[in-house]
Amino acid sequence: MSQAFTKSMARNIFFGGSAFFFLLLVALTFDTMQVLPKRDHRENITPAVERGKMVWEKNNCIGCHTLLGEGAYYAPELGNVYARRGGGEFIKAWIKSRPAEGTPGNRRQMPQFNLTDQELDDMVAFLKWTGEINTAKWPPNIEG
Amino acid sequence: MQYQSQAVAKPYFIAAIGLFVGQILFGLIMGLQYVMGDFLFPAIPFNVARMVHTNLLIVWLLFGFMGAAYYMIPEESETELFSPKLALLTFWVFLVAGALTIVGYLTVPYATLAKFTFNDLWPTMGREFLEQPLVTKVGIVLVALSMLFNLTMTVLKGRKTSISIVLLMGLWGLAVFFLFSFYNPSNLVLDKYFWWWTVHLWVEGVWELILGSLLAFVLIKVTGVDREIIEKWLYMIIAMVLITGIIGMGHHYYWIGTPEYWQWFGSVFSALEPIPFFMMTVFAFNMVNRRRREHPNKAAVLWALGTGVMAFLGAGVWGFLHTLAPVNFYTHGTQITAAHGHMAFYGAYAMVVMTIISYAMPMLRGRAANSEKSQVLEMWSFWLMTVAMVFITLFLTAAGILQVWLQRVSTEPLGFMAAQDQVTLFYWLREISGVIFLIGLVLYIISFFVKGETKEAA
């Protein structure tokens, strides 16, 4: 860099540029917050959905699965699992039937979380609501 | 070392390396669970191993950053640290809190841990990377505030250099953006939106300020190049970091319910995010080429150059690979993401911490540089770990490309597990690379204990 370009000019670009783009982020965030209710259908967040999110978090499901593509890549995407498995019955039966000591053979294991019937219903409500978020057509197909 | 109080950095560095070992061991466990699904089940399920792996990474990097700051700030400010006692107390608080959290993860089911730590009162747990119980999160904030108070007071009473100002801004930013981890609305979209304000604004924002200042500090010391030139580079690099990286956050807002215009903002700005990393590489090589002295610590120079190159490859190139929205539509949440994550964290953050440790640790032990023998071993560990990480990244990328093809592109898409079964070979190769990485890490630790002829620190 030439001598005409001084450290204080570089510093000004840093402070000016950062401040400008942070303000732009705040502005875009403000706009996003206005638009989101139409995309996340928050009117459908029932107490069951709220409790279901708690069940999801308390059992660290994100440690194996992705949800809307975020999380761990060890187990299937669950953002669209409600649609993929044709409703909640499969989901509940699957979670309930994991053997505590593991499935025989060299398969990836899902723990037995000992969820109550209420917790299972809440989890399904949460996954159903999640599946209805407008995600710009992601994932590419039903396999997630 | 020029100031007695810089010595508080030493336990921070030792703890960082110790936790690094733990991180790698759990990485190997997870790697094996990818191909031998029942390994250590049900004692350590994958989700627990992963939480330990990622949390140890974060904590050891934080130990590294803090150690670096306690070492650099007195020297930059040309004065003793405001309170070395507080820095030591903070160290033990952080270490004990971190250790208890990890023990909690490993000994009781996560749901039990959540219950015992009153997660119901203020739920913050169970979100990727932010799995810590509320009390640990509060602890992290207190540790950060104690450090920031200590460092800020030191800078205020001493010389104010650009390096220490940038470092302080980075550390303050780290603390401020961590506060978003306490916000967990029941609306998943809002939760995800602001989760990124911690995660993205850390690793693609303020952490890069810390990275830049650590690199600049070591380059001044080992090359003897004029401070004005190095600090000018530093400001240009971090200017580009935030100009591209703040709106670059849009690349996380493509598919989580956020409006479609983020696909444009995210693609355009994050496509520019490699620029500051490229500048970092040019910067490191340029300064070393223009060096005015031959510093006896060759290993530290190697780490500094390596950081530039690997950060550019891992964060820059591998980030760009899947950052454009039309590409990300197919790669989002696959092994491509894992590949990028591994090389970016190693190349940018793990390596810069090892750069500052490589430079500062001999000083803390009263010599300008380690013995020739010790340095040769350290450089072997550099190459083993770095090459192993390149291969881990390449194998995960191969697995990811196949996964995307089999599961999302082909005319008859396979289910998730069926696609995973097809790429097992690459997971085995990744695990073998992981073992090589561990060997490199063991050599790295041994290098600290290799004796030999050394010169007293000036």
Chain A hits for B338, CB-CB cut-off 8 Å, are 73
Q: Which of B46, B238, B334 sits opposite A64 (nearest CB)?
A: B46
Q: Which of B30, B236, B257 sits opposite A135 (nearest CB)?
A: B257
How many Å lie between the alpha carbon of A4 and the closest alpha carbon of chain B?
Answer: 12
B121 phi/psi in degrees, rounded to 5: -70, -40
Question: CA angle B100-B105-B110, nearest 5°?
Answer: 130
Looking at residue A23, what is its pLDDT? 98
- Tell me, rounded to whole angstroms, the distance of Cα B211 from its chain centroid: 9
- Looking at domain A42-144, its CATH class is mainly alpha
Dist CA B320 CA B313 (whole Å): 10
Containing H/E element for A71? strand A70-71
B1-160: CATH topology is: Four Helix Bundle (Hemerythrin (Met), subunit A) (1.20.120)
21-60 in chain A: CB under 8 A from chain B? 21-22, 24-25, 28-29, 31-32, 35-36, 39-40, 42, 45, 49-50, 53-54, 56-60
Chain A hits for B332, CB-CB cut-off 8 Å, are 69, 138-139
CB-CB under 8 Å, B47 with A61: yes
Dist CA A68 CA B158 (whole Å): 49
Determine the average pLDDT of the residues in B356-366.
Answer: 97
Q: Which of B193, B257, B415 sits opposite A143 (nearest CB)?
A: B415
Chain A hits for B243, CB-CB cut-off 8 Å, are 17-18, 21
Chain B hits for A125, CB-CB cut-off 8 Å, are none
Share of chain A above pLDDT 90, in %: 95
Chain A hits for B337, CB-CB cut-off 8 Å, are 73
Residue B191 tokens, joined: 């939760």
- Residue A76 in contact with partner chain B when CB distance is under 8 A: yes
Reported as half-sphere exposure (CB side, CA atoms, 13 A), residue B321 has a value of 26
Chain A hits for B237, CB-CB cut-off 8 Å, are none
Dist CA B358 CA B290 (whole Å): 21
**N- to C-terminal Cα separation, chain A:** 48
Share of chain B above pLDDT 90, in %: 98
Is the pLDDT at B303 greater than 60? The verdict is: yes
Determine the average pLDDT of the residues in B158-168.
Answer: 98
Dist CA A63 CA B110 (whole Å): 11
Chain B hits for A64, CB-CB cut-off 8 Å, are 45-47, 50
- Residue B145 in contact with partner chain A when CB distance is under 8 A: no
Dist CA B55 CA B140 (whole Å): 12
CB-CB under 8 Å, A72 with B128: yes
Task: Provide the angle, in degrees to the nearest 10, between the axes of the packed helices B46-77 and B207-223.
Answer: 50
Looking at residue B458, what is its pLDDT? 58
Containing H/E element for B326? helix B325-331
- CATH level 2 (architecture), domain B215-449: Up-down Bundle (1.20)
Dist CA B375 CA B377 (whole Å): 5
- Tell me, rounded to whole angstroms, the distance of Cα A54 from its chain centroid: 13
Looking at residue A2, what is its pLDDT? 58
CB-CB under 8 Å, B125 with A111: no
Tens of pLDDT, residue by residue over B55-104, are 999 999 999 999 999 999 999 999 999 999 999 999 999 999 999 999 99
Nearest residue in A to B396, CA atom: A73
CB-CB under 8 Å, B46 with A72: yes
Nearest residue in A to B163, CA atom: A11
The helix/strand/coil state of A70 is strand
Q: Tell me if the bond preceding B42 is cis, omega within 30° of 0.
A: yes
- Residue A130 in contact with partner chain B when CB distance is under 8 A: yes
Tens of pLDDT, residue by residue over B376-426, are 999 999 999 999 999 999 999 999 999 999 999 999 999 999 999 999 999
- Sign, Cα dihedral of B38, B39, B43, B47: negative
Is the pLDDT at B318 greater than 90? The verdict is: yes
pLDDT band (50, 70, 90) for residue B23: very high
Residues 6+ apart with CB under 8 A from A27: none
**Model pTM greater than 0.95?**
yes
Looking at residue A105, what is its pLDDT? 85
How many Å lie between the alpha carbon of A143 and the closest alpha carbon of chain B?
Answer: 5
- Sign, Cα dihedral of B111, B114, B117, B121: negative
Chain A hits for B191, CB-CB cut-off 8 Å, are 53
How many Å lie between the alpha carbon of B8 and the closest alpha carbon of chain A?
Answer: 31
Tens of pLDDT, residue by residue over B331-351, are 999 999 999 999 999 999 999
Domain spans of chain B? 1-160, 215-449
CB-CB under 8 Å, B131 with A40: no
Share of chain B above pLDDT 70, in %: 100
* Alpha-helical segments (H) within B179-295: 188-201, 207-223, 227-248, 261-271, 274-289
CB-CB under 8 Å, B235 with A14: yes
Is the pLDDT at A1 greater than 60? The verdict is: no
Q: Which of B50, B115, B229 sits opposite A63 (nearest CB)?
A: B50
Tens of pLDDT, residue by residue over B423-448, are 999 999 999 999 999 999 999 999 99
Q: Which of A13, A60, A102 sits opposite B41 (nearest CB)?
A: A102
pLDDT band (50, 70, 90) for residue A118: very high
Chain A hits for B235, CB-CB cut-off 8 Å, are 7, 10-11, 13-14
Dist CA B331 CA B92 (whole Å): 42
How many Å lie between the alpha carbon of A96 and the closest alpha carbon of chain B?
Answer: 16
Nearest residue in B to A59, CA atom: B111
